[in-house]
């Protein structure tokens, strides 16, 4: 069975995310600069990299290796096309995290933005255990209203995600990470339109 993310065109996903009524693409881009710059690491793994939003903030004098992981191979092809200057640093891996975490290499840090919502806490724990990072930086979406996808002309593009979507809770994520010896070292909130907010939670072991 195909992962629903393999069926969603990147242009529709990004056009939805950057609408003035959604503002997730722009907000995450700003937050990712902080994710890349905050910790003393030379390698990082971005789970659910999509089209590579935020990669322009990668400092080539800091990072020796950046892994971009996604289940959609066409997304990864676009990442490589968009960021030729990261050749030699960026390595794209087409992996379905729900059953392929054992294929992931080790990395100093994991960045998981709007990703855990689609694989669940248990699967995310398996990924962490395999990659064995020192730092984990997550951005999750908290919905203060019932709808988890903002209304837009692209709304029905995401219909297939309903069966794999998990409602995120800060406390539940913290507890899942604590079980593996990771402790919260930073939190950051950014309000979005339509009764939503992005919450960044960083962990260290």
| Residue range 18-35, pLDDT digits in tens | 999 889 999 999 999 999
Q: What is the pTM of this model?
A: 0.94
Q: Which CATH superfamily is domain 4-204 in?
A: Vaccinia Virus protein VP39 (3.40.50.150)
pLDDT (average), residues 36-61: 97
Q: Measure the CA–CA gap between 45 and 105, rounded to whole angstroms.
A: 9
Asked whether the beta carbons of 108 and 137 are under 8 A apart, the reply is no
Nearest residue to 198 (alpha-carbon basis) of 34, 57, 13, 28: 28
Q: Measure the CA–CA gap between 83 and 73, rounded to whole angstroms.
A: 16
Q: Of the ranges 41-45, 50-54, 55-59, 144-148, which one carries the lowest mean pLDDT score?
A: 144-148
Nearest residue to 98 (alpha-carbon basis) of 197, 10, 6, 164: 164
- pLDDT at 47 exceeding the cut of 90: yes
- The domain limits of the chain are 4-204
- pLDDT at 1 exceeding the cut of 70: no
Structure tokens of 14? 């990004």
> What mean pLDDT, rounded, does the chain reach?
93
Residues in the chain: 205
What per-residue confidence (pLDDT) applies to 143? 81
β-bridge partners, 198: 141, 190
Residue 130's H or E segment, with its range, is helix 120-131
| Residue range 145-181, pLDDT digits in tens | 656 566 677 777 888 888 888 888 999 999 999 999 9
What per-residue confidence (pLDDT) applies to 166? 84
């Amino acid at each position: 069975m195909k992962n629903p993310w393999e069926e969603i065109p990147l242009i529709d996903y990004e056009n939805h995310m950057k609408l003035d009524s959604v503002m997730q693409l722009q907000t995450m881009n700003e937050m990712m600069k902080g994710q890349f710059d905050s910790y003393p690491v030379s390698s990082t793994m971005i789970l659910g990299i999509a089209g590579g939003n935020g990669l322009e903030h990668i400092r080539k004098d800091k990072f020796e290796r950046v892994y971009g992981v996604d289940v959609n191979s066409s997304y990864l092809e676009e990442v490589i096309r968009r960021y030729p200057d990261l050749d030699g640093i960026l390595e794209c891996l087409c992996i379905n995290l729900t059953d392929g975490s054992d294929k992931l290499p080790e990395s100093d840090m994991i960045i998981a933005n709007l990703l855990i919502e689609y694989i669940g806490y248990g699967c995310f724990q398996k990924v962490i255990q395999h990659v064995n990072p020192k730092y984990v930086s997550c951005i999750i979406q908290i919905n203060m209203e019932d709808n988890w996808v903002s209304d837009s002309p692209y709304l029905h593009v995401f219909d297939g995600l309903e069966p794999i979507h998990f409602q995120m809770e800060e406390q539940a994520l913290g507890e899942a990470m604590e079980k593996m010896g990771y402790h919260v070292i930073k939190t950051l909130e950014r309000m979005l339109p339509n009764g939503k907010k992005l919450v960044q939670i960083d962990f260290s072991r």
